[in-house]
């Protein structure tokens, strides 16, 4: 049985950067994923938005770390992950939304976020062709942006392999033993492996992997759909979040990636719990209506493809990143809801620090937001 310092379950948005950063610390790592190659879980469902503008201080600081990694990746490692710093824009048409976003600005500025309120005129310059009827203005955070989820997964994978990480694809973690100070034995449908430490980064499968060692993780997936149009001439750069609720959807967000394709996603109302990933017949008509209502000039854009993926949800919309008490060597980084791509590298830097030095990079009182032992009934953060 081969022995490693760390075994990671999951080669996704979080497991891949964690593996790479561990290997940079000279840690011997094995990553196991049941799918045939890297990023094939929820990572490839993401539309690619990456932002530090949140309301939770832990998410703000984590995503600031992530953005540093994304922005410097090409210079440092040479791979193009299609990072584009186009910012995030929340256009506002309703008085109560204006008040809520302006109140939030105070907290966001306290944490050093580059974000401001932009009046209607300025917003229309950022988003040429936006529907001006009732437009009050909106927030704009120019430091945020977007990346290609697949190119990013590939880049982390490539550098991880180069740094010595071993990967076993098409292999499912089916059992765990140990956790009492003598390491952890990882059983799979193909064999057994042993490690000093184990990281559960299994995304939508994390609760199941938790139960393999009697750990209850409150993570329940629900599904969200995305779509992409044919390329059209680039005319806007920010990722736009329309926070208005309409029948059938809570909010809607989209951006134009570097090649001109408009990528979009919608939060269904009510949510659709479960693991079903078959596209629905509701998503496209709803999205098209919302897109054209906001950007009438996109009415002739043709949609190329739609897909449905999962948000691994926690009750309060905040991930679980922690060392498990009473199971020595067992760590969790899961429950990333709709934000695992943007949180991934920042979380990975912290969990790697926790595993190698015993403390996180973020201050303990901030990182506590991610605790497995927190009160999950507190009011939830905005889910996207």
Ligand X SMILES: Cc1cc2nc3c(=O)[nH]c(=O)nc-3n(C[C@H](O)[C@H](O)[C@H](O)COP(=O)(O)OP(=O)(O)OC[C@H]3O[C@@H](n4cnc5c(N)ncnc54)[C@H](O)[C@@H]3O)c2cc1C
Among the listed residues 23, 47, 127, 219, the single contact to ligand X using CB under 6 A:
47
> Tokens in use for 309?
């993926």
> Tokens in use for 94?
């309703």
Handedness of CA 323, 44, 22, 166 (dihedral sign): positive
Helices assigned H by DSSP within 78-191 = 95-110, 120-126, 149-162
Contact 222, 312 (CB under 8 A): no
> CB of residue 17 vs ligand X: minimum separation in angstroms?
9
Among the listed residues 5, 34, 56, 257, the single contact to ligand X using CB under 6 A:
34
Our finding on whether 87 is near ligand X (CB under 6 A) is no
> CB of residue 308 vs ligand X: minimum separation in angstroms?
7
Distance (Å, rounded) from C-alpha 70 to C-alpha 145? Answer: 10
DSSP secondary structure string, 18-74? Answer: HHHHHHHTT--EEEEESSSSTTTTTGGG---EE----SSHHHHHHHHHHHHHHHHHH
Among the listed residues 20, 45, 257, 294, the single contact to ligand X using CB under 6 A:
45
Which residues, 228 to 287, sit near ligand X by CB under 6 A? Answer: 265
> CB of residue 107 vs ligand X: minimum separation in angstroms?
20
Q: Is 346 left (phi over 0), alpha (psi -120 to 50) or beta?
A: alpha
Among the listed residues 57, 179, 221, 309, the single contact to ligand X using CB under 6 A:
309
CB atoms within 10 A of CB 88: 25
Q: Which is nearer to ligand X, 136 or 250 (CB)?
A: 250
Among the listed residues 67, 160, 201, 294, the single contact to ligand X using CB under 6 A:
201
Distance (Å, rounded) from C-alpha 51 to C-alpha 217? Answer: 26
> CB of residue 93 vs ligand X: minimum separation in angstroms?
23
Helices assigned H by DSSP within 184-319 = 206-211, 283-294
> CB of residue 6 vs ligand X: minimum separation in angstroms?
15
Q: Which residues contact 89 (CB under 8 A, 6 or more apart)?
A: 118, 123, 126, 127, 138, 139, 140, 141, 238, 239, 240, 241
Residue number of the CB atom closest to ligand X: 12
Q: In this chain, which stretch among 80-88, 117-125, 213-221, 309-317 interacts with ligand X, using CB under 6 A? A: 309-317
Distance (Å, rounded) from C-alpha 270 to C-alpha 292? Answer: 22
Q: Which is nearer to ligand X, 194 or 209 (CB)?
A: 209
Q: Which residues contact 326 (CB under 8 A, 6 or more apart)?
A: 179
How many residues line the site for ligand X (CB under 6 A)? 44
Our finding on whether 49 is near ligand X (CB under 6 A) is yes
Q: Which is nearer to ligand X, 11 or 123 (CB)?
A: 11
Q: Which is nearer to ligand X, 108 or 152 (CB)?
A: 152
> CB of residue 340 vs ligand X: minimum separation in angstroms?
2
Check residue 248 and report its DSSP letter.
T
As a dihedral over the C-alpha atoms of residue 307, residue 224, residue 66, residue 41, rounded to 10 degrees, the angle is -60
Q: In this chain, which stretch among 41-49, 73-81, 96-104, 278-286 interacts with ligand X, using CB under 6 A? A: 41-49
Binding mask 132-171 for ligand X (x = CB under 6 A): ----------------------------------------
Query: Helices 57-77 and 340-357 meet at what angle, rounded to 10?
Result: 90
> CB of residue 95 vs ligand X: minimum separation in angstroms?
28
Q: In this chain, which stretch among 22-30, 75-83, 178-186, 198-206 interacts with ligand X, using CB under 6 A? A: 198-206
Check residue 88 and report its DSSP letter.
E
> CB of residue 225 vs ligand X: minimum separation in angstroms?
6
> CB of residue 119 vs ligand X: minimum separation in angstroms?
27
Which residues, 312 to 351, sit near ligand X by CB under 6 A? Answer: 312, 334, 336-342
Our finding on whether 56 is near ligand X (CB under 6 A) is no
Our finding on whether 372 is near ligand X (CB under 6 A) is no
> Tokens in use for 10?
């999951």
Check residue 247 and report its DSSP letter.
T
Q: In this chain, which stretch among 115-123, 124-132, 201-209, 359-367 interacts with ligand X, using CB under 6 A? A: 201-209
By CB neighbour count within 10 A (0-12 exposed, 13-18 middle, 19+ buried), where does 119 fall?
exposed
Residues that bind ligand X (CB under 6 A): 9-15, 32-35, 40-43, 45-49, 172-173, 201-205, 209, 224-226, 265, 309-312, 334, 336-342
């Amino acid at each position: 049985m081969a022995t490693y310092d760390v075994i990671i379950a999951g080669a996704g948005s979080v497991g891949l950067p964690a593996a790479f950063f561990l290997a940079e610390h000279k840690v011997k790592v094995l990553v196991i994923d049941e799918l045939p190659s890297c990023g094939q879980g929820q990572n490839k469902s993401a539309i690619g938005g990456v932002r530090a503008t949140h309301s939770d201080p832990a998410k703000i600081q984590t995503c600031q770390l992530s953005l540093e990694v994304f922005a410097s990746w090409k210079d440092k490692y040479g791979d193009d992950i299609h990072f584009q710093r186009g910012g995030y824009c929340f256009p506002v048409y309703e008085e109560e939304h204006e008040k809520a976003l302006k109140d939030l600005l105070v907290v966001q500025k306290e944490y050093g976020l580059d974000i401001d309120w932009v009046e209607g005129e300025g917003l229309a310059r950022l988003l040429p062709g936006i529907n001006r009827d009732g437009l009050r203005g909106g927030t704009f955070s120019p430091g945020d942006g977007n990346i290609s989820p697949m190119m990013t997964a590939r880049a982390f994978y490539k550098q991880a392999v180069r740094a010595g990480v071993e990967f076993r694809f098409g292999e499912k973690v089916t059992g765990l033993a140990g956790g009492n100070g003598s390491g952890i034995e990882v059983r799979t449908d193909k064999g057994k492996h042993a490690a000093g430490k184990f990281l559960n980064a299994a995304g939508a499968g994390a609760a199941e992997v938790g139960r393999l060692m009697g750990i209850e993780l409150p993570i329940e997936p629900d599904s969200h759909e995305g779509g992409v149009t044919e390329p059209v001439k680039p005319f806007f750069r920010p990722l736009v979040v329309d926070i208005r609720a309409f029948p059938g959807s809570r909010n809607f967000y989209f951006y134009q990636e570097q090649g001109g394709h408009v990528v979009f996603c919608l939060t269904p109302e009510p949510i659709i719990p479960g693991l079903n990933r078959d596209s629905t017949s509701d998503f496209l008509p709803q999205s098209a209506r919302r897109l054209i209502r906001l950007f009438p000039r996109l009415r002739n854009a043709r949609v190329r493809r739609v897909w449905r993926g999962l948000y691994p949800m926690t009750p309060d919309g905040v991930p679980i990143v922690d060392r498990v008490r009473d199971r020595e060597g067992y760590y969790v980084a899961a429950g990333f809801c709709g934000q695992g791509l943007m949180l991934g590298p920042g979380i990975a830097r912290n969990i790697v620090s926790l595993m190698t030095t015993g403390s996180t990079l973020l201050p303990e009182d901030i990182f506590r937001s991610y605790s497995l032992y927190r009160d999950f009934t507190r009011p939830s953060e905005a889910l996207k």
